[in-house]
Chain A
Amino acid sequence: MASQSNLRNFSIIAHIDHGKSTLADRILEITGLVSERDKRDQYLDRMELEQERGITIKAQAVRIPYTSRSGEEYILNLIDTPGHVDFSYEVSRSLAACEGALLVVDATQGVEAQTLANVFLALDHDLEIITILNKIDLPSADPDKVAQEIEEVIGLDQTDALMASAKTGEGVEDILEAIVETLPPPEGNPDAPLKALIFDSWYDTYQGVVVMIRVIDGEIKKKSKIQMVSTGRTFEVTSVGAFSPEPVSMPSLSAGDVGFLFATMKDLDDARVGDTVTLAENPTPDPFPGFKTIKPMVFCGLYPTEPAHYEPLKAALEKLQLNDAAFSFEAETSQALGFGFRAGFLGLLHMEIIQERLEREFQAQLIATAPSVVYKVTSTSGEVFEIDNPAKLPPPGEIAELAEPFVRMEIHTPNDYVGSVFQLCEDKRGIQQDVRYLTSTRVIITYELPFAEIVYDFFDRLKSMTRGYASLDYEIIDHRPADLVKLDIMINSDPVDALSTIVHRENAYHHGRAVALKLKRSIPRQLFEVVIQAAIGQKIIARERNSPLRKNVTAKCYGGDITRKRKLLEKQKEGKKRMKRMGNVEIPQEAFLAALKVGDDD
């Protein structure tokens, strides 16, 4: 076993597509941990969905034995970090488990907002940073310019920046040498009371709760009686070890080590990311700082398309929750949709991932309603409470003040698009805070924006108006009072609670008209007239109408046509199952997201 001085714990910080996973793969190959033959592309991205989207959702850590050029033997622990703004807390915990980080920057593109946010996070944790200018094999690479940009923007000295191509493997050995030469070994006292940081945890069907820890002080081994600082709950350790890359049991993990532990835990909630693990009999006097209970920020309704699918959907949600402590749900009833669930997510990407997994892994047929943020209501009686479902908003007469969450957002953009970005942020009720030129061609724009405005089409519009060159990072800062109203939608005079949204009064008319039109287009024509109305309180602000279907008949049906005709009708019938029947009107899933899509084509 390597001594503490021969340990190196590090993360890789990079923007999506800048080559983080490819570099990790090369490191695993060059150190011989994963052979060419049985490697899967991008080993660290385990879930199918992650591979498809090219992003990392859950963090992983790999223990890599490495013999340096001088013949010294080291253990490198590569701690992977999730690569999306929704998961910034998990990123911060992963970084806190390291002494150093590799900053991977695409030498053809330069620094992106999200990378920058993570670099500052790493600097906050006093991490030593090695810059890697990646993709130097590409003709459009301009490493000198990008290095200069990094120096200007972050203030990192780039004299020792490394050039590499994770794709071809060029420069990767130098990176390994730099890791052992430049990054400091972990400090910490193996003889002090146990103090270990949980930087990730998940539920494994066979093993139960898998807890990833970084031991700061002390030692943990099989049969240790451990205690979770945030809850005080105690467990007995059944096994400790590390992923290398397959799980390998070890006699113990001590100060500086990174690895997993299994204990007598049943619930993922027993191993909260950011919590400190200590020994029950000899607890650490100073737990690791910065623990937060993760709070969902975005909510939506999830309803089975048929009442009979309620229990299977519930079972699927429970299974997903086992694996994802950041995801929450509770039962909810909608007048329009019947029995279902209100689910909470860290952000939009998180929501999309969960919805996709429900459909893909659990074959759940569900209707998801438009996402909502959490509003703070002060009632006329002085009571303050939060709502995450617009349908739950009290009548206007009972509301003294309605406050919405605000975010502070940094947008990185080439200067050509500054005007458009301003326009977008102003459209979204943003308040400009700062405009900084990173270089002569790259700008950081800082805005404070209502979170609800980002939940609607913000990312897509930003991407399309900057041709994909802009990137962003945001954090929720506070709740602010605003002139907000509830926009109700009625279909054939019946209010559809699941289609209610909360909007700013100034935008209500435009929004109402656009949503009504979108609904008209997404609801198929039926056997009767369908009237769609948008209303604020008693006032109708928009009306659209779908005329009844007039002709859908098979011209002839004789002996040889019967099977084909029947199968055709049966197939059509299957399509109807994806729709929700409301009164007599069939409403397809897309309609419930109409509010989201407003602005796509108008």
Chain B
Amino acid sequence: MLLYIHVPFCRSKCRYCAFHSMVASDAALVLYVDHLVKEIQARAKDREFAALETLYMGGGTPSLLSPLQLERIVGAVVEHFSLGPNLEFTMEGNPGSLRQKGYLQAIRRAGVNRLSIGMQSLDNDQLKLLGRTHTASQALSAYNRARSAGFANISLDLIWGLPQTRVKDWLDQLKRVVKLGPEHISCYGLTVEPDTPLEEQCLDNQVTLPLEGEQAKMFVHGAELLESEGYLHYEVANFARMGYLSRHNLGYWEGSDYLGLGPSAVSTLGGERFANPPDLDEWMAGVAGGNPWPEPETLDAGTTLREMLMLRLRTSRGLRLRDYRLRTERDFMADFAKIIETLHHNHLIRIRDGYLRLTKEGMLVSNTIIENIFAQLDLLGTDTASSPANHDK
């Protein structure tokens, strides 16, 4: 079982961000923690959950929680859930809120054993443009401080495809990051989300993103560089040293059940998906009013199949062809012969040892590939969607 806790507060809103988060006030944080603890109790009582393999606190900026608040949350989790022997406990933090070694030591004492730092860029101009409140040197010292506080598993978040950057800028930055020696690196292509200040700037031509070809090179050459430095490219956006893959995130891509707590958090449990209300007040009202489960989205066999294809193809391990057969009693290679031939011919996929995986070039166009696969699934008819699922659990 995976447990996700969403902390919906930030010190300020980034210009590219479309997530549900709000600028923190102390009072709101207090109320949030009270309600979260109640939600932990209520959910744990309501169902039988397997032992937690991972706990992930994301946001927002979870590092805005005080050590005491964090301890209260963790205490509630420990009290109401059983923990697996090898719990991966990740917390996200922004460089700006990781300024004190004492804080870092405190969260480590609270049980956090994996720290994910939102570094984003080492270029101060770019950080400013993104609306980040920290500087590159603050990010570097946050990293060093975390190390000296004893964190042995640190992930750094970076954004590529930033306005006015070239391939060389990105590669130079990656080299500097690699020198720091983080165990894990996430590289997200900058996405211009609707209704964000960044979108406005793009529409007004105040900023221009690199051309498609340039972006493609950033992705491919960046990934090659990291691989040559010993990082495994294990998912579209994720790289890790051996043994440091994010087990929590791998769980999402492999179809594990997960429970999400906090506003906007999503749970997928036994073929049903529940989404908490994104609005803080609405979420709190729900928790206070007996914490009913949200109206579920039922994942039928066809939907589960599509999600399996969509998610597995994000990983470098790829889709196990046998899993397709187990779900559908059909042969993937036969069902998708034409698409496979085209993709193969254009070096977008590799098939080996019973797995189909996307090449780096394939990952770059994975949406188009998956759209084609979905369209073909429809043509195959409903029988692929109706057979009993989940033999492999």
Q: Do A and B share a complex? A: yes
A527, A528, A559, A577 pick with most chain B CB within 10 angstroms: A559
Q: Does A249 contact B (CB under 8 A)?
A: no
Interface string of B353-385 (1 = CB under 8 A from A): 000000000011111111110110011000000
Q: Does A548 contact B (CB under 8 A)?
A: yes
What chain A residues lie within 8 Å of B332 (beta carbons)? none
| Cβ–Cβ contact A555 & B188, under 8 A | yes
What chain A residues lie within 8 Å of B186 (beta carbons)? 556
Residues in A545-575 with C-beta less than 8 Å from chain B: 548-560, 562-563, 565-566, 569-570, 572-573
Number of interface residues of A (CB under 8 A): 28
Q: Does B291 contact A (CB under 8 A)?
A: no
| Cβ–Cβ contact B365 & A573, under 8 A | no
Of chain A, the residue at the smallest CB distance from B379 is: A306
Q: Does B155 contact A (CB under 8 A)?
A: no
Q: Does A576 contact B (CB under 8 A)?
A: yes
Q: Does A584 contact B (CB under 8 A)?
A: yes
Partner of A565, one of B188, B310, B343: B310
| Cβ–Cβ contact B191 & A551, under 8 A | no
Determine how close the nearest CB of chain B comes to the CB of A365; give it in whole angstroms: 13
Determine how close the nearest CB of chain B comes to the CB of A279; give it in whole angstroms: 57
Q: Does B63 contact A (CB under 8 A)?
A: no
| Cβ–Cβ contact A572 & B303, under 8 A | no
Q: A527-B342, A555-B188, A563-B266 are in contact. Are A570 and B372 (CB under 8 A)?
A: no
* Cα of A565 to Cα of B309 in the assembled complex, Å: 12
| Cβ–Cβ contact A555 & B189, under 8 A | yes
* Cα of A566 to Cα of B266 in the assembled complex, Å: 15
For chain A, what secondary structure do more than half of its interface residues adopt (helix, strand, loop), or is it mixed? loop
| Cβ–Cβ contact A559 & B343, under 8 A | no
What chain B residues lie within 8 Å of A306 (beta carbons)? 379
| Cβ–Cβ contact A528 & B375, under 8 A | no
Q: Does B208 contact A (CB under 8 A)?
A: no
For chain B, what secondary structure do more than half of its interface residues adopt (helix, strand, loop), or is it mixed? helix
What chain A residues lie within 8 Å of B375 (beta carbons)? 573, 576-577
* Cα of A90 to Cα of B237 in the assembled complex, Å: 67
* Cα of A549 to Cα of B190 in the assembled complex, Å: 18
Q: A557-B314, A563-B297 are in contact. Are A572 and B306 (CB under 8 A)?
A: no
* Cα of A527 to Cα of B260 in the assembled complex, Å: 36
Q: A306-B379, A553-B363, A559-B268 are in contact. Are A566 and B303 (CB under 8 A)?
A: yes
Of chain B, the residue at the smallest CB distance from A565 is: B310
Interface string of B297-327 (1 = CB under 8 A from A): 1000001001100110010000000000000
B188, B216, B368 pick with most chain A CB within 10 angstroms: B368
19 A-B residue pairs with Cβ-Cβ distance under 8 Å, sorted by A, are: A550-B212, A551-B212, A551-B215, A551-B216, A552-B368, A553-B236, A553-B364, A553-B366, A554-B367, A556-B188, A559-B260, A560-B266, A562-B273, A562-B307, A562-B311, A566-B303, A566-B307, A569-B370, A573-B371
Given contacts A558-B249, A560-B4, A570-B374, 4 further A-B contacts (CB under 8 A): A551-B365, A553-B365, A557-B236, A584-B342
Q: B: which residues have CB within 8 A of A?
A: 2, 4, 6, 58, 186, 188-191, 212-213, 215-216, 219, 236-237, 249, 252-253, 258, 260, 264-266, 268, 273, 275, 297, 303, 306-307, 310-311, 314, 338, 342-343, 345-346, 348, 363-372, 374-375, 378-379
Q: A: which residues have CB within 8 A of B?
A: 306, 526-528, 548-560, 562-563, 565-566, 569-570, 572-573, 576-577, 584
